[in-house]
Amino acid sequence: MRFLFVHGTGVRRDRHDTLFALVRERLTDRFPGAAVDSCFWGERFGAGLGSGGRSVPGLRLPGSADAADTETAEWGLLLADPLCELRVLAEAGWETAGPGADAAGDPFAMPGVQPAGAGVLDLLHRLAEAPDDPRGELRALLDGTGLAPGFRPALEAAAHSAEAARAGARATAEPEARELAAALARAVTAGALATAGADADCTAAERDRLVDLLTTRLGGGARVPGARAAALLGRLALRVSTQPLLNAWRGSLTVGATPALGDILRYQARGTELRAYLHQRITAEPGPTVLIGHSLGGIALVDLLALEAASGGPVPGAELLVTVGSQAPYLYELGALTALPPGSALPYGFPRWLNVYDRQDVLSYLAAPVFPGDPRVSDHEIRSRQPFPASHSAYWKQRSLYERIERAVTEAGIG
């Protein structure tokens, strides 16, 4: 048995190698005797701005939600502004200060006695200045999630921020200091995540563990439900408008999105070459092959398999298709899928199809409802607890993904 991984939009060599190493490790652990190959197409068939982005105006080059939704939205806000929670604490302080409080926040404080928050800030500065421990859990977590390069800059940015200094001065009591420690830990974690961007391989659980480790280092404890800054930001995150940010960032967003969005548009216009390349890679080795396509990789595989099945028979060896975070069902509904007009059935000879999605990933869609009654098509939901766009790449560390693939392999009778 053989696995062939087909990456998605915006992936180039460095990102591909990191991503495929992770996928290969997880598949090899679960399928020891299987070959795991990759089809890297990003640099050969991917998109770029041929005129340097001159088409972009103003381009400057160099209601109801559950707790999970609120958490995801809050992290989305933190990724956009890692210091936003500290800013709330710096400006609003805590209600324990009362009327007539001075700049330090406590009118009854003993002269010469530092507020409790000062001790937290002292621990933060020590952490920023301390050498890395290559053997500790923190270092292993940073290395394993791709956050190591941005961690030290994020730590220093928080430690030397005016927001931290102001919030520390207002945290006069121990409960306030513990909330400050948690807010600082989230600020540092968000800063590291924002620096890594799409290159981060960090699950929500790993993110939360990093926050816990940092909070403990700063003398805090578990996050207290209803904490002041968290309550305010949770509501704000669900309601904040993004249009001013989109207007201000249009140029940089366009440049940054070009590999991902451009790859999709280029495929829609010139997908024949990529499909021919995929066919060549699938048939290069004999025996049953499980095809795993992420995002645009899944679209191209659906097109290829449907076109080949309708015209001359199934692609040799293609026994199971797994699409992950794919837009193929949506394009089918739009009538924009090359191989299948809206309302048409999957052709005879199309393999079993497992479609994996995440509700937080706005680029993932359901396949089974648009092919009703077809026993070959099934959907499986992953809950990464990550905000978009991190959720679009968060599948590959989820154990449930590989468990479901293993089940699909068994159901397909592939050995």
Helix or strand (DSSP H, E) at 320: strand 318-324
What is the residue-averaged pLDDT of the chain?
Answer: 84
pLDDT at 1 over 60: yes
Q: Whats the size of the chain, residue-wise?
A: 415
pLDDT at residue 227, as a whole number: 58
pLDDT band at 222 (very low <50, low <70, confident <90, very high): low
pLDDT at residue 353, as a whole number: 98
pLDDT at residue 264, as a whole number: 80
Cα distances from 111 to residues 104, 108, 114, 115, 379, in angstroms, run: 11, 9, 8, 11, 64
Instruction: Judge whether 252 and 367 are in contact, CB under 8 Å.
Output: no
Whole-number Å distance between alpha carbons of 318 and 286: 10
Helix or strand (DSSP H, E) at 2: strand 2-6
pLDDT band at 399 (very low <50, low <70, confident <90, very high): very high
pLDDT in tens, 310-332: 998 889 999 999 999 999 999 99
* Mean of pLDDT values over 347-375: 95
pLDDT in tens, 155-199: 999 999 999 999 999 888 888 889 899 999 999 999 999 999 888
pLDDT at 63 over 50: no
Coil/strand/helix, residue 234 = helix
pLDDT at 241 over 50: no
Whole-number Å distance between alpha carbons of 356 and 283: 24
Cα distances from 361 to residues 181, 203, 259, 324, 381, in angstroms, run: 30, 14, 18, 10, 11
Q: How far, in whole angstroms, is CA 375 from its chain's centroid?
A: 31
- In percent, the amount of the chain with pLDDT more than 70 equals 80
**Which tokens belong to 389?**
């766009």
Coil/strand/helix, residue 5 = strand
> Homologous superfamily of 2-49+253-412 in CATH?
Alpha/Beta hydrolase fold, catalytic domain (3.40.50.1820)
- In percent, the amount of the chain with pLDDT more than 90 equals 58
Strand residue runs (E) in 169-317: 289-294
pLDDT band at 244 (very low <50, low <70, confident <90, very high): very low
pLDDT at 258 over 90: no
pLDDT at residue 205, as a whole number: 94
What are the sequence ranges of the domains in the chain? 2-49+253-412, 81-239
pLDDT in tens, 111-134: 545 778 899 999 999 998 887 777
